[in-house]
Amino acid sequence: MAQDEHIDVPLLDQAVLERLRTELEEDDGVWKVFVQNFIEHLPHRTDKLRLTLTTGDLTGAMDAVLSLKTSSQMVGAERLAELAMDLERALRHESIDIEPARVLPRLAADRLRQIIRCARQTTYLLQKYLHSG
């Protein structure tokens, strides 16, 4: 999927958030803590991704992108999860034949800005969602 095609994917899937809220509502607002933890850890996840890509650490980059993808899916951050999935595919396919120290920094240059911008937009929407309910 080309980077511009992600615009069609919603930043947040409200159905995932509502399901999370419904399933955890009886537990004294655990759903809010869950979403707040995602928001709190998101800068660390994107920083780890940036560091591992720019230093050519393929194992670390794969771990970081999988963490970002999985946590994003759990809170309904659809566009961020989609960007992470695309990067994961690129890591699996592009770095096999070429030296990771050359490929990963290029992937960082190509993809990180969009991932970080999407993470900020997602954080903003999730914070609005938390304060609305």
Tokens 């992600």, residue located = 6
Q: Residues near 79 by Cβ (< 8 Å), separated by ≥ 6?
A: 6, 9, 10, 11, 118, 122
CA distances to 7, 22, 23, 75, 85 from 17, rounded to whole Å, are 20, 9, 10, 6, 20
pLDDT score of 4 more than 90: no
3-state secondary structure the chain: CCHHHHHHCCCCCHHHHHHHHHHHCCCCCHHHHHHHHHHHHHHHHHHHHHHHHHCCCHHHHHHHHHHHHHHHHHHCCHHHHHHHHHHHHHHHHHCCCCCHHHHHHHHHHHHHHHHHHHHHHHHHHHHHHHHHC
User: Considering the entire predicted model, what is its pTM?
Assistant: 0.89
Residue 56 is part of which domain span?
38-132
30: in domain: no
pLDDT band at 7 (very low <50, low <70, confident <90, very high): low
Kindly report, residue by residue over 20-74, the tens digit of the pLDDT: 888 877 776 888 898 999 999 999 999 999 999 999 999 999 999 999 999 999 9
63: in domain: yes
Counting the structural domains of the chain, the total is 1
pLDDT at residue number 40:
97
Question: Quick one: which of 9, 15, 24, 33 has its CA closest to 130?
Answer: 33
CATH code of the domain in which 105 resides: 1.20.120
58: in domain: yes
